[in-house]
Structure formats: C-alpha cells, structure tokens
Amino acid sequence: MTGKPPTGVPGAQTLERGLDLIERVVNEPMALRELAASAGLEINTTRRLAGSLVGYGFLTLGPDKLYRSGAKLLELGARARDQHDIVVIARPYLAQLSAATGAPSFLGERDGDYSVHLHRAAGWQRVAVSTAVGTRRKLPETSLGKALLLDDAESEWDRLFANVSPEFCPEGWKEAMRHARAVNFVVHDAPSPDRIRAMASAVRDASGKIVAAISFVSPLQYADDAEVERIAPLVRATALGISEVLGYSGPRPVIQRRSRTAAFSS
C-alpha cells in the first residue's frame, strides 16, 4: 500500500488495516476467515473492521458470506473517474509545454484506425499550426497517431501504413517506429508542401496501456535538429506527468540521441 499515515499518528494502524481489507476485497471477494488469514489479522479484529466498513458502505456482505465492494466505494470510484477526465488532467501540462516551446501542443486518443484531437494548447509563435479539436486523421499520418500505435504488433503497423499515401511511408519507417517504441518518442515530418515537424509521446494509465498521446507541432523553420534535441525531453516529461496522474508507475526510458535518419523518417 502507498500513502500510509506517518508512524505515531492516532488511529493510523486502524486506518491502514481498514484500507488493506478494502484493497484485498476489491481484488477478490472473500469470506471472513479467508480475509483474516490473507491480512494476517485475528478473526475478531477482522470482523470488527469489516463490520465498520460495511456500516459505512465501503464493503458489503452478501448472502454467500463473502465481502465485496460496497456502494460507497463504487460511488467514490465514479467520482474519482470524473475528476480524472484526461482532458482536464492534460490541460495544464499542455499549457506549460506550449509556454516553454512557443508551439501549440495537442492531446489525442485513438478511435479505431484514426486519431482524434481532443485538446489544443496555443503557443506564442507568430506562425502556428491550427489543427482543430475533433480533427480525425489516419494513425500513420501524424506524430500523435504514431505514438498511439507504439504498442501494436508490427503486423498491425503493416496493415495501417499500407492504407495511407506512400508519402507517409518514407524509407526506413518501420525501423523508425521500432526506435520510437523503445524510447516512447516519435518525430514526424509532414510531407511537402506543409513543412511541419511534430514530436509526440504516448500517455499510459495505471495498467501501462496507452490511452492517449500528446504532441508538439511546429513549422519546420522553428524546429530544426537542435531544437528537436531541446524539446524532446519536454515532450516526454509532459506525457509522463499526465501518465503519473493516471496512475502509471512504469519505467522511464532514457531519451537517446538519434541520427537524423532515425529521428525524422517517422
């Protein structure tokens, strides 16, 4: 368990034991004796704690004598999900990224074979990309979409890249995607005449699943190779910050310096 009260705080041990019982029952409904044995507590102590939790609605005791999640716990879970709306969470992170880079930044999610833009934070560059919220693009056509693809099998990459214009499949695209997967970072140059450069990173939830992606998008004149090196850690840190709010606690791969071919063929 995490976030335990400091040692010596009155009632801390009782609180810890009660939270531990809730966590165990949420993972698997249990009878009293099984719950006591699992928690390493005496039967009477477990009965008293579980009874209090039932009284407050955090647990329920069914006709089969198994303890399960109670209505209050489900209610609090629903409220917590409302507070963890990904747009609400991402908004201040993207605002900070755009303030630091000058370019607009975006949040998007996957919808089948497409990415959908959910939020845009404006930058201060005089010339800026203005993709509207709600825009749908085929996944391989944007950095955002490619970041959403990083956990997919290579056979899925083949299928999706085969369904876009050849200009979105430059030589070495698959190797670039493999590298992007390893470092959770995509660099994408839009085909001419757009002259747009974008960088993206995947956002993960507590299970480690990709649930969204964020991107930095700029006219190429503001995003040369040196600027990519500067901005890459900011993009990665932004995605990681949002992920951590969503409960992600997985590895933090180190950004590697990349050759121009590896970086910009994706």
pLDDT of amino acid 6: 44
The whole-number pLDDT of residue 159 equals 95
Q: Domains along the chain?
A: 12-82 (1.10.10.10), 84-264 (3.30.450.40)
- Mean pLDDT for the stretch of residues 198-210: 92
Report pTM. 0.65
pLDDT of the residue at 125: 63
Residue 156 has pLDDT above 90, yes or no: yes
Q: What is the DSSP string of the chain?
A: --SPPPTT-TTHHHHHHHHHHHHHHHHS-B-HHHHHHHHT--HHHHHHHHHHHHHTTSEEE-TTS-EEE-HHHHHHHHHHHHHT-HHHHHHHHHHHHHHHHSS-EEEEEEETTEEEEEEEE----SS---PPTT-EEEGGGSHHHHHHTTTS-HHHHHHHHTTS-GGGS-TTHHHHHHHHHHHT-EEEEPPTTS-EEEEEEEEE-TTS-EEEEEEEEEEGGG--HHHHHHHHHHHHHHHHHHHHHTT-----PPPPP--HHHHH--
Q: For 121-133, write each residue's pLDDT tens digit.
A: 887 766 556 667 7
User: What's the rounded mean pLDDT across residues 187-202?
Assistant: 82
Mean pLDDT for 32-48 is 93
Overall average pLDDT of the 25-49 stretch? 92
